Amino acid sequence: MANPTAAMLVIGDEILSGRTRDANMYFLAGELTKAGIDLREVRVVADDSDGIVAAVRALSKSYDTMFTSGGIGPTHDDITADCIASAFGRSIDVRADARALLQAHYDRSGQELNEARLRMARIPDGAALIDNPVSVAPGFTVENVHVMAGVPSVFQAMVASVLPTLTGGAPVLSQTLRVMKGEGDIAGPLGALAVDFSDLSIGSYPFQRDGVYGANIVIRGQDGARVDAAMTKLAEVFG
């Protein structure tokens, strides 16, 4: 059977402007691969309500599960929670359990739970909270959408909270062979190999080092014996 599918929505002007380099997609892709969940699509949208709502609706309908990162903090431009509520036609307000988490956290640190920080306790109606052991302010899940912070350490902690609740499939196995030839020289034999092993994913990733062209050929699949067989054949062709 095919593995479950997933999508990711990265939210934030800072990503699109180049001020911040996104690390969350890289991390999520690796964790989902290990869990046997295929990450099929990643979109990046600005801090724009209409754009976020449209993307959430499209991706949540197209894939088994969806993750978002960014836009659930205390400032005026953190609009993700409101957009998720809008996308699913739900009301949103400060929720008692989320507020209690924040109150206890700021009491321990001797800080005030002011109006700005209280924004992080606004949760769409019916959502389940996602644990945040790093900075306490929770993420949340609405239907098949998991809404998480953009700060990498917090995002990673929230992913760790969510993954055990998801149904995975067969982990994807991969092997790599480095070939010191240009892609123009390997394209023909590599294409023939892809036909013979059509059940596997075979990709070529070129590089140039000290004026010499080469490619890393990566073979991926769920059947370890098939991956081994393809790699053996690949080594014979380019050995």
Tokens of 26: 């890289």
Q: What is the pLDDT of residue 32?
A: 96
Query: For the chain, what is the domain count?
Result: 2
pLDDT at residue 236, rounded to an integer? 93
d(CA 136, CA 128) in angstroms, rounded, equals 15
CB 234 within 8 A of CB 219: yes
Q: Write the pLDDT tens digit of every residue in 43-81.
A: 999 999 999 999 999 999 999 999 999 999 999 999 999
Same domain for 85 and 155? yes
Q: What is the pLDDT of residue 211?
A: 86
- Where residue 24 falls among pLDDT bands split at 50, 70, 90? very high
Average pLDDT, the chain: 95
**Domain end position, chosen among 105, 134, 165:** 165
Whole domain around residue 160: which residue ranges?
Answer: 5-165
Tally Cβ neighbours within 10 Å of residue 21: 8
Return the SS3 of 173.
strand
Tell whether 187 and 229 lie within a shared domain: yes
Q: What is the pLDDT of residues 201-234, one digit of tens each?
A: 999 999 998 889 999 999 999 899 999 999 999 9
**157 lies in the same domain as 178:** no
**Residue 59 confidence (pLDDT):** 98
If asked whether residues 161 and 191 sit together in one domain, one would say: no
Q: 77 is written with which tokens?
A: 């431009």
Q: What are phi and psi of 77, to 5 degrees?
A: -90, 5
H helix runs in the chain, sequence order = 13-16, 24-35, 49-62, 80-87, 96-109, 115-118, 152-162, 183-196, 224-238
- Specify the CATH number for the domain of residue 197: 3.30.70
Looking at residue 142, what is its pLDDT? 98
- pLDDT at 239 > cutoff 80: no
Given this model, what pLDDT does residue 171 score? 87
The number of beta carbons lying within 10 Å of the beta carbon of residue 121 is 23
Residues 23, 65 within the same domain: yes
Tell me: the pLDDT tens digits for 116-140? 999 999 999 999 999 999 999 999 9
Same domain (yes/no): 159, 187: no
Q: Are residues 178 and 64 in the same domain?
A: no
User: What pLDDT, in 10s, does the model give residues 156-204?
Assistant: 999 999 999 999 998 889 999 999 999 999 999 999 999 999 999 999 9
The Cα–Cα gap between 230 and 208 comes to 25
Predicted confidence at residue 82, as pLDDT, reads: 97
Q: How far apart are CA 55 and CA 111, in angstroms?
A: 36
| SS3 per-residue string spanning 131-168 | CCCCCCCCEEEECCEEEECCCHHHHHHHHHHHHHHCCC
> Residue 41 pLDDT > 80, yes or no?
yes
- 54 and 153, same domain (yes or no): yes
At residue 92 the predicted structure's pLDDT band, cuts being 50, 70 and 90, is very high
Buried b (16+ CB within 10 A) or exposed e, 124-140: beebebbebeeebbbbb
